[in-house]
Structure 1
Amino acid sequence: MTRSEEFQELRPLLFAIAYRILGSVSDAEDAVQESWLRYETSDAVPASPKAYLSAVVTRISIDVLRSARVRREAYVGRWFPEPLVSDPYEDPARAAELADSVSMAALLLLERLSPLERAVFVLREVFAFDFADVASAVGRSEDAVRQLAVRARRHMDEGRPRFEADRRERDELAARFFDAIRDGDVEALRELLAADVQLTADAGGKAPMWGRGIFGGANVARVLESTMPIFGQIGGTLEPRTINGQPGAILRDGEGRVLNTWSLDILDGRIQSIRAVLNPDKLGHLGPVADAWAVFQQGKDVRRPPV
């Protein structure tokens, strides 16, 4: 097998590692491409291309994350990961771990970790690399890596919800939620929202949004009840999709362009949070991006009573 063939076979895994470390589709793709350039020009003949390339993409991702952390400190408003519609890497034996680790909630928890802790957690807990390979990837001793893994796991466990929804129940509840929005069923909508549900958004200062967010079941229901019918009137569509391994949706304008994405957190039979990504810089990998300000103005025009 040629180097190019080895790399193409491992590309889905390399992207999956990089995305979980970086929380950015574009940065992950760049890290994977840089890994190929280094592999292509290297004289090394690794015994395990998988271990070698995983180490390379991990080191690149750690360096990128360190500089990204500085930029995120100056980010306007809330920062959410770039939405991922489909994870290119599949492993039936670890399907649950892979889906959970790519959720918006998990990626936001990973933001609490240092870059080294995050890389160790991703390699060890998500992809089950042995400690020797993790140590080689991050340039630390096995003992140091074990300590990093313990710290990272503790931080992640502290932030996880105590009870997680059954996947089938979660998907069924999400379907009912989107049906209620489509049908304008206000009572069904309110019943599906947790009392303390949060509707928050990442606009990056580049799209209209609802201040710091909408909080509480009654308030979130009111916003959805008032905005979604108007969104439909101006040709907007809501397309249920899996976003970051969880129930979600892509919202499109009247021309079919991507306006934003929603990702739902569902626990205890209720929707606990709706995270929307509106920053156009984070949506380009999903297709042509809508002008959110123009859509907002269209909605205002529909609301405005005729003169």
Structure 2
Amino acid sequence: MTRAEEFEELRPLLFSIAYRITGSVAEAEDAVQETWLRWEASPAHPTSAKAFLSAVVTRLSINVLRSARVRREVYVGPWFPEPLLTDPYSDPERSAELADSVSMAALLLLERLSPLERAVFVLREVFGFGFGEIAATVGRSEAACRQLVVRARRHMKEGRPRFEADRREREALAMRFFDAFAEGDVDRLRDLLAADVQLVADSGGKGPRWAGGFFGADRVARLLAALLPPFARIGGLVEPRQVNGQPGAIFRDRDGNVINTWTLDVLDGRIQAIRTVSNPDKLGHVGPVGDGWAVLRETQQARRGTH
């Protein structure tokens, strides 16, 4: 197998590691590309390509995350990870960990960790790397890495509980939700929402968002019921699909351009949170991006026209 073939075989794993550390599709792709350049330029041929390449992409991702955190301190409004439609890496033996770790909720919990804690946690808990490999990757002793994992686990457990493990139940609930959403049925929507549900948007100041968010089943249900009919009248489309391994949707304008993405957090048979990403800088990998502000203005005009 050539060096290029080895790299391509491992590319899905490298991207998946980088995405979970950085929370960014673009930055993960950049880290993978830089890893290839270093692999191509390396005169040595390591015993394990997987160990070498995973170490390089992890170190690059840690550096990216450290600089990104400075930028996030001045980010306008809530910050969410870039939406991921498909995780390129799969491992039947770790499917539960992989699915759980890519959800918006889990990635936001990972934000509580230091870059080093996050990297060690991802390598150990998500991908099952041995402590010897992890220690060599991050330049710490095995004992120090074990302590980092213990600390990271504690921070993660302090967050919200795991979401529904049964994918079929989640998908069935999401189907009922989007049906009620399409029909503007306030009562059905309210029944599907947790009492303390939150609807929050990440726009980065570059796309429409809902002020500080909306909270509570009744308020969110009424907002949702009023939202879709005028959006549909101007040709807007809601495309239900998996986003970050969770039920979600892509909103498109009449030309099929992406306006935003939604993800639904499901627990105990109810939707706990609806997170939307409307920052156009975070949507380019999903597809051609539309003008969210223009769609909002047109939707509002269509809504006023019904009164």
- Measured against the shorter chain, the TM-score band is over 0.9
Taking the TM superposition and a 5 Å limit, the aligned residue runs for 1:123-202 are 123-161=123-161, 164=164, 166-202=166-202
- Following TM superposition, by how much is the alpha carbon of 1:164 offset from its aligned partner in structure 2, in angstroms? 3.8
Query: Contact 2:163/2:266 (CA < 8 Å) preserved in 1?
Result: no
Identity of aligned residues (%): 71
Give the whole-Å Cα distance in 2 for the aligned partners of 1:101 and 1:276.
18
Q: Counterpart in 2 of 1:270?
A: 270
Give the whole-Å Cα distance in 2 for the aligned partners of 1:276 and 1:266.
15
Q: Counterpart in 2 of 1:95?
A: 95
The count of residues paired between Structure 1 and Structure 2 equals 307
Q: Counterpart in 1 of 2:85?
A: 85
Query: Contact 2:184/2:226 (CA < 8 Å) preserved in 1?
Result: no
1:264-305, CA deviations, whole angstroms, 9 ceiling, x for partnerless residues?
A: 001111100000000000000011001001101111221334
Structure 2 unaligned blocks of 5 or more: none
Query: Contact 1:165/1:266 (CA < 8 Å) preserved in 2?
Result: no
Query: Contact 1:79/1:204 (CA < 8 Å) preserved in 2?
Result: yes
Q: Counterpart in 2 of 1:49?
A: 49
Q: Letter of the 1:291 partner, please give it.
A: D
- Following TM superposition, by how much is the alpha carbon of 1:211 offset from its aligned partner in structure 2, in angstroms? 0.3
Q: Counterpart in 1 of 2:120?
A: 120
- Following TM superposition, by how much is the alpha carbon of 1:165 offset from its aligned partner in structure 2, in angstroms? 5.0
- Following TM superposition, by how much is the alpha carbon of 1:93 offset from its aligned partner in structure 2, in angstroms? 1.2
- Following TM superposition, by how much is the alpha carbon of 1:190 offset from its aligned partner in structure 2, in angstroms? 1.2
Taking the TM superposition and a 5 Å limit, the aligned residue runs for 1:198-237 are 198-237=198-237
Change (3 A) 1:201 1:163: closer
Give the whole-Å Cα distance in 1 for the aligned partners of 2:165 and 2:120.
27
- Following TM superposition, by how much is the alpha carbon of 1:158 offset from its aligned partner in structure 2, in angstroms? 1.5
Q: Counterpart in 2 of 1:294?
A: 294
What's the secondary structure of 1:239's corresponding residue?
strand
Q: Counterpart in 1 of 2:22?
A: 22
- Do residues 9 (structure 1) and 3 (structure 2) align? no
- Following TM superposition, by how much is the alpha carbon of 1:209 offset from its aligned partner in structure 2, in angstroms? 1.3
Taking the TM superposition and a 5 Å limit, the aligned residue runs for 1:237-248 are 237-248=237-248
Query: Contact 1:165/1:268 (CA < 8 Å) preserved in 2?
Result: no
Give the structure-2-normalised TM-score.
0.98
- Following TM superposition, by how much is the alpha carbon of 1:184 offset from its aligned partner in structure 2, in angstroms? 2.8
Q: Counterpart in 1 of 2:60?
A: 60
Give the structure-1-normalised TM-score.
0.98
Give the whole-Å Cα distance in 2 for the aligned partners of 1:304 and 1:143.
63
What's the secondary structure of 1:219's corresponding residue?
helix
Query: Contact 1:165/1:267 (CA < 8 Å) preserved in 2?
Result: no
Q: Counterpart in 2 of 1:70?
A: 70
Give the whole-Å Cα distance in 2 for the aligned partners of 1:207 and 1:162.
30
Give the whole-Å Cα distance in 2 for the aligned partners of 1:165 and 1:14.
25
What's the secondary structure of 2:285's corresponding residue?
helix
Query: Contact 1:78/1:204 (CA < 8 Å) preserved in 2?
Result: yes
Q: Which deviates the most, 177-186 or 226-235?
A: 177-186
Structure 1 unaligned blocks of 5 or more: none
Query: Contact 1:21/1:62 (CA < 8 Å) preserved in 2?
Result: yes
Q: Counterpart in 1 of 2:109?
A: 109
Q: Letter of the 1:242 partner, please give it.
A: Q
1:46-103, CA deviations, whole angstroms, 9 ceiling, x for partnerless residues?
A: 1000000000000000001000000000100000000000000011111111010000
Give the whole-Å Cα distance in 2 for the aligned partners of 1:6 and 1:183.
50
Give the whole-Å Cα distance in 1 for the aligned partners of 2:278 and 2:41.
39
What's the secondary structure of 2:290's corresponding residue?
coil
